[in-house]
A and B are shown apart, each in its own frame.
Chain A
């Protein structure tokens, strides 16, 4: 083992290009034992590429570091042995049954107590009754359960989950996250990419990546605080016209519709306060100061990220 034993992921300056496209730039990431680390960013920001580099599926062009104490460049086989990776798209065999898929995975990891481990895992994740159902006939939520069970089968110390809950209903998502927290409590580290803000808030640590560059990181609270944003909630009649009007006011950087409420956010607190005070005086609107949400922060980050391709 090299590096800090408590850091399951410790990489510095990872770069990856596909042709002329620089997909990941100087990525540095540290994930502690028992931590759920949320990986956020818009589509095409390099989340999947980063995760693939960590689990040995892609070779970084440059950079160094360790994953589970193994070198990410030279010891990818060891990393594969000890990490669990769940792909964004369902990638088990649709023409095999649940049990056959699990059995196959168990054999790939050369597990000694294969049968028992597969049965235990099926029971634990509530897949036992469906063991003979073909994976291809499962619904999205069940597929996701199966995929999670498969990547956990060999009892990895680190889980790399690439948008595991995409296309899964809220209840299944909640169950899934409870499972993740139980795993974290038992000392397993989880790196999970997601688009969902409620999921981001459930992570111990967050990192936000855009166009391959890591823009910010920390706890949800720290990430919000670091951006020094001020957000007002505004509601009233004719929201869309109001939103268009708000965008023209001094100090307003972004206006986002959340149901019947507008989140009005800006960096310049003084000017925004002024605009909002004026709005409250002049019209029949309800205006209140609020804590900026993660979503407000991420939309802000997304809008302000330097776009390197233009």
Chain B
């Protein structure tokens, strides 16, 4: 009797295969996860982002200035999207995250250059995500020499021979020391919330179904919206506890600055938590059992991490991947939280990231209400 029985072994294996085949969603996930996710992320992820949006504040319209601008663009890293006239505009664009860089060419740039006075070329970078800017900044160092080589000919040849004809000053804004934690820790906040919130509510409805309590619940006059919102409330509390722990750790363990308003931050977090919980409830109405709810959570979780700008620079991704990323709440949450923590952003700068999360939540809520069945049909 102690002998290993091939018949029993095979019996169990066959039973597992049969059950797996019956569970269509699981079967779909087995095929879907590798194919979709690999293709998606294989093409989307790029840790060397190029064509980063750059604003140009030029007070000098000389040939040299134009050469520098075209040199920047030719490097592939900088893409001039705005021509601005004042420093205040530069501040605004950086705070909102509209541009990654602001290049300032001061007055008398060419005159100073011709006199050999090494004029200043100012480059302000949004360094809240150090990975997004580092390659661009190192490309800049070699740029000045090569670009001006062509212009500095004849009597100007001697300038080209000088150690550095221009003085490039780089200001790493928001994170001058390029500390990765400043970027990662706020990002992790969103990732942790996404994971736990979706998973917990994802199981909420399927648990009722699996334990058979759904039938009693449906026999009562409870309305779908009451059930769903009622199920969400406790998890909102859970989320708020989590975020408080995370923020305390971020502040005192990782020493991430908190420049903006705490209440504003909690307001944004609350919205984000609600959006994720809503999604969890929607998964819950779709899934037939807890395992399926779990699989859906992971199916959503992976793109959230990889396409939101958490793991890899958002601007390094191709357009279509950015479009997917823009639809994810985590993307906007990251921008919002980094803005408040590192840039000290206020309500005005925050709003552009608030409404996409709100819209996402609304869409998911409508979907959940549509999917929620008041009968056992």
Contacts and interface: CB of A to CB of B under 8 A. Distances in A.
Interface string A171-208: 00000000000000000000000000000000000000
Name the residue in B214, B218, B220, B374 with the highest tally of chain A Cβ atoms < 10 Å from its Cβ. Answer: B220
A108 B377 contact: no
Interface in B345-377: 374-377
Interface size class of B (residues with CB under 8 A): 10 to 19
B219 A94 contact: no
A92 interface: yes
Contacts of B216: 85, 87, 91-92, 150
A57 B213 contact: no
A285 B219 CA distance: 55
Contacts of A57: 215, 218-219, 375-376
B377 A59 contact: yes
B212 A91 contact: yes
Contacts of B221: 77, 80-81, 108-110
Contacts, number: 51
B222 A91 contact: no
A153 to B, nearest CB: 10
Interface string A66-91: 00000000001100110001010111
B211 interface: yes
Contacts of A109: 220-221
A196 B213 CA distance: 26
Nearest to B216: A91
Interface string B216-236: 111111100000000000000
A230 to B, nearest CB: 43
A58 B219 CA distance: 10
A47 to B, nearest CB: 15
A105 B222 CA distance: 10
B213 A92 contact: yes
A148 to B, nearest CB: 13
Contact of B375 (A56, A92, A150): A56
Contacts of B211: 91, 93-94
Nearest to A88: B215
Contacts of A52: 376
Q: Which 8 A-B pairs have the closest CB atoms?
A: A108-B220, A91-B216, A85-B219, A80-B221, A91-B212, A91-B215, A87-B215, A81-B221
